Amino acid sequence: MGLFDRHAGIVEAYRDVRTTGADPFQIRMDRVLSPTEAIIDGRRTLLVGTNNYFGLTYDPACMEAAIEAIRAEGTGTTGSRIANGSYGQHVALEQEIAAFYGKKHCMVFTTGYQANLGVISTLVGQGDLLLIDADSHASIYDACKQTQAEVVRFKHNDPASLDARLRRLADRPGNRLVVLEGIYSMLGDSAPLKEFIDVCKKYGAYVLVDEAHSLGALGANGRGLAEEAGVLDDVHFVVGTFSKTLGAIGGYCVSNDPDFDVLRVVTRAYMFTASLPTSIVASVRAALKVVQARPELRTRLWDNVRTLYDGLAAQGFTLGPMPGPVVGVHLPDRATTIGFWRAMLDAGVYVNVAVPPATPNGVSLLRCSLSAAHTPEQLTHMIDVMTGIGRQMGVLPAGPRLKVVAQHG
């Protein structure tokens, strides 16, 4: 048996995908023009699948900060902070993120994936219990493989399911850590955090919330779901990423735990990989300032959410359960989804394909993510494109529907 034989099933599924003429998992952007446009296959294409929630990848202040940092401190750090030491910029960024959340400590990682992997797998160990939502991100599942703690899943966004599991485990010794997400990356729904926190308090469980997709988008100050739900004080660990709203790359974890900093010398995903270049750190610091100084970006993002979500719903598309910066459009099966995706690309609109096994409950989705940088015209155009394809493919009823006038409060 060859090394690659175990992947035969995936290879086969992948071959199906590729028969559509373009491989959704290997899209090449010949040139990116702005947070919302790129040249793909020689065509100017509208991007609605980039997680660029505030459109900060081209923010002048962020770009200038990065360029200046490269001039001053070079292109890379060439090692981990444990081996090579920290730059002043790393430490300043950590202080600024901690202050943003009103927490005492912050650790910055090279990616959000590594932040989840490192923090979760290190916080719990032999004899502890790790409880995760069934629809958790891959980085959380991978952390489960790296820890000696016993891992138990509960039903997605279901506090009663968590309660039942904590109750069954009640007489077991060890710490309990519950991992939740601010906005789930595929369907765009949020955890009922207040209810989850009540359950966690009842059983003395620690809570970690991954705010990867909710930073900037949720909460009066953009701190995420924990702020919006008014429970930031009850969340022991917030994990997040710089790769979405902040328009760069990297991850972080904040906490008030007095011993938090010990993680720096026991977390392998922090210790054994190179630290972020200071250009990235400088752009992230600038982006965090933008998030705090320009709440109108959050307003604009949500205006765009309403436009797309209400617009697609009015045309009869089946969408994820709640409107948000991630809009999942349900389609009947994998083949329809990939065909639909391809037709959209041909019409100059790029979204993500999400098909099993990357999706919960085996659903097939076109995953759209919105940006404050999208114009209403771009989104209206996208709705028109999707409606046309939807009718053509028989996903939507053929005739035009009565226009539903959405009320905006």
Ligand X SMILES: Cc1ncc(COP(=O)(O)O)c(C=O)c1O
When asked if residue 406 is in the footprint of another protein (CB under 8 A), the reply is no
When asked if residue 10 is in the footprint of another protein (CB under 8 A), the reply is no
Type of residue at 233 = D
Return phi, psi of residue 153, to 5°. -95, 150
Among positions 116, 352, 364, 378, the unique one binding ligand X when judged by CB under 6 A: 116
Residues 395 and 380: their CA atoms lie apart, in Å, by: 19
The interface partner of residue 406, options being ligand X, another protein, none and the CB cut-off 5 to 8 Å by kind, is none
The interaxial angle of helices 376-392 and 296-314, nearest 10 deg, is 20
When asked if residue 376 is in the footprint of another protein (CB under 8 A), the reply is no
Nearer to ligand X (CB atom), residue 163 or residue 210: 210
When asked if residue 322 is in the footprint of another protein (CB under 8 A), the reply is yes
Return phi, psi of residue 349, to 5°. -130, 125
Among positions 76, 125, 174, 192, the unique one binding another protein when judged by CB under 8 A: 192
Tell me the three state secondary structure of residue 396: coil
Contacts of another protein in 152-171 (CB under 8 A) = 152-161, 164-165, 168-169
The interface partner of residue 155, options being ligand X, another protein, none and the CB cut-off 5 to 8 Å by kind, is another protein
Nearer to another protein (CB atom), residue 73 or residue 158: 158
Among positions 37, 59, 181, 189, the unique one binding another protein when judged by CB under 8 A: 189
Burial of 89 (0-12, 13-18, 19+ CB in 10 A): buried
Nearer to ligand X (CB atom), residue 239 or residue 379: 239
Q: Taking the mean position of all CA atoms in its chain, how far away is CA 80?
A: 25
3-class secondary structure per residue, 273-338: CCCCCHHHHHHHHHHHHHHHHCCHHHHHHHHHHHHHHHHHHHCCCEECCCCCCEEEEEECCHHHHH
Residue numbers at the binding site for another protein (CB under 8 A): 134, 144, 150-161, 164-165, 168-169, 189-190, 192, 195, 217-220, 228, 298-299, 302-303, 305-306, 321-324, 356-357, 360-362, 409
